[in-house]
Amino acid sequence: MKTIDDLQVAGKRVFVRADLNVPLDGTTITDDGRIRAVQPTIAKLAEAGAKVVVASHLGRPKGAPDPAFSLAPAAKRLGELLGTDVAFATDTVGESAQATVAGLADGQVAVLENLRFNAGETSKDDAERGAFADQLAQLADLYVGDGFGAVHRKHASVYDLPARLPHAAGDLIAAEVTVLKKLTEDVKRPYAVVLGGAKVSDKLGVIDHLLEKADRILIGGGMAYTFLKAQGHEVGISLLQEDQIPAVKDYMKRAEERGVEFVLPVDVLVSADFPDLKTKAPAHPTVVASDAIPADQEGLDIGPKTRELYADKLKDAATVFWNGPMGVFEHPDYANGTKAVAQGLLDSEAFTVVGGGDSAAAVRLLGFDENAFGHISTGGGASLEYLEGKTLPGLAALED
C-alpha cells in the first residue's frame, strides 16, 4: 500500500476520502474526534502544495439532500482546526463542487457536501456506483483514502473511486491498521470483547468470528435485547433484531461448546419513552431484572448489578476490545453503564482498544482521558470487520 509520502502532490487536486461522521446536536458538533484524527493528513497535503478536496458521508441520509445531515458544521470545524479558511461546496459533484474545486489555489482546502446525498454513493448496483465514481474522479488527480471508519463499506467514494485515480493510504488509516494488526496476531489472554450500540444488524455477525478468538464476550446496549429474547425473555419495545434470533441462539450454543464465556445483562434500566436528548429532561427510568422487562417499556441502559458484573469480568482481562455504548449515553440517566465499562477498562491492566464513532465520543464526553486507553479507533464496524479477518473494500482498493 502506498502512503502519502509516495505521491507527488504539489499543484495536484488530491481527493481525501475522510470519515467526518461526527455526532451533532442540531448544527453543533458534540465531539470532533474524527475531524481531529484526519486533520494531520489534510494539513500535510496542503503544506505540500496540494489542492485538497475533502469528502465524507455523515449519518445515513437516503440518497438525496437533507439539511439535517449537511457537512457544513464539519467543514467549519476543520477550518478552525487547520487555522485557515476552508471552502465548502453545497453539492458533491454538481456546479458548486466543480466551481469550488476549480477555485482552489495550491495549499487550499475544500470540503464537498455529504457523499450520501447522492444515491450512487451507497448503491448496490456496480454501474450506478461506478457512474457516481466517474463524476467524483472529474474533481481530482490523486486519491488518498483516510476514512478508516468507512473502509468496510463498498461505496463509490471508498471502493470505486480509488480504482479510477492514482491512490495512497492516508496517515490515519496507516496508524489504525498498525494497531489493529496486533490484535489479529499476538493477542494476550484472557481476551474480552464488549459489544453494544445500536447498529445491531451490522455487528451481530462478528460474533461468529469472535467465538473463535475471544475468551469472554460481554453484550450490552441495543445489542443485548436480541440475546435476551433468544433466551426466551420478553423485551418489551426494546431494540430487537427479530430475524437474527436463530443465529443468536446458535452463537450461545457454540459459545458453551467452545468454553467461551457469554455475559448478558442481569438487570436493565427501562422506560416507556425514549429520552429527550436535546433538553436532557429527567427520564425517571426504573431498574428491572432482564427477564422482567414490561411489555410497554424499552431497555435503555444496563442496570447497577450488570455494571458491577461487567467491571468484574474486565478486571483480569489482558486484552479488551470494546465497541458500542452500553446504553443511550447521550442522556445522563442512561450513561452509567457506559461509564462503568470505561472505568472497568481503566481499572484493568489490559491493553484496551475502544472502537467506533459513538464509543470514542462517549469516552471523551463522559470525561475520561482518551490517552489512558491503549488505542481509540475511529471505526467501530470497520475495526470489528478488520479483526474478523475480512477483506475490507476500502483497504483492498488502496493496494497497488
Ligand X SMILES: O=C(OP(=O)(O)O)[C@H](O)COP(=O)(O)O
Binding site for ATP, by residue number, is 203, 299, 330, 356-359
Q: How far is the CB of 222 from ligand ADP (least distance, A)?
A: 4
- Annotated catalytic, 189? no
Q: Which residue type, as a one-letter code, is found at position 116?
A: R
The secondary structure of residue 390, as a DSSP letter, is: P
| 122 or 359: CB nearest ligand ADP | 359
- The residue from 327, 380, 381, 394 that is catalytic is 381
Active site residue 164: no
The number of beta carbons lying within 10 Å of the beta carbon of residue 301 is 32
Nearer to ligand ADP, 145 or 197 (CB): 197
Beta pairing class for 167-169 and 298-302:
unpaired
Residue 324 touches which of ligand X, ligand ADP, none (CB < 5 to 8 A by kind)? ligand ADP
DSSP string of 317-371, one letter each residue: -SEEEEES-SS-TTSGGG-HHHHHHHHHHHHS-SEEEEESHHHHHHHHHTT--GG
Q: Residue ranges for the binding site for substrate? A: 19-21, 34, 57-60, 116, 153
Q: Any catalytic annotation for residue 199?
A: yes
Q: Which of 323, 336, 348, 377 binds ligand ADP (CB under 6 A)?
A: 323
User: Kind of pairing, strands 267-271 and 298-302?
Assistant: antiparallel
Q: Which of 12, 34, 77, 339 is catalytic?
A: 34
Partner whose footprint covers residue 187, from ligand X, ligand ADP, none (CB < 5 to 8 Å by kind): none
- In the shown chain, the binding pattern of residues 143 to 182 toward ligand X, with x for contact by CB under 6 A and - for none, equals ------xx--x-----------------------------
Site string for ligand X, 38-67 (x = CB under 6 A): ----------------------x-------
DSSP-assigned letter for residue 136: H
Query: Which DSSP string corresponds to 72-129?
Result: HHHHHHHHHHHTS-EEE-SSSSSHHHHHHHHTPPTT-EEE-S-GGGSHHHH-S-HHHH
Question: Which of 145, 380, 393, 394: binder of ligand X (CB under 6 A)?
Answer: 380
Binders of ligand ADP in range 278-297 (CB under 6 A) = none
Stretch binding ligand ADP (CB under 6 A), from 80-88, 96-104, 227-235, 354-362: 354-362
| Under 8 Å between Cβ of 223 and 245 | no
With contacts defined by CB under 6 A, name the span among 97-105, 165-173, 233-241, 351-359 that binds ligand X.
351-359
Distance separating alpha carbons of residues 65 and 113, to the nearest angstrom: 9
Using the rule CB under 6 A, is 22 a contact of ligand X? no
Measure the CA–CA gap between 242 and 255, rounded to whole angstroms.
20
316, 368, 395, 376: which is closest to 151 by C-alpha? 395
Q: How far is Cα 54 from Cα 188, in angstroms, rounded to an integer?
A: 38
34 is catalytic: yes
If binding is defined by CB under 6 A, does position 32 make contact with ligand ADP? no
Grid cell for residue 77: 470545524
- For the annotated catalytic residues, the residue numbers are 34, 199, 357, 381
**Residue ranges that bind ligand ADP, judged by CB under 6 A:** 196-199, 221-222, 239, 299-300, 323-325, 327-328, 330, 356-359, 380
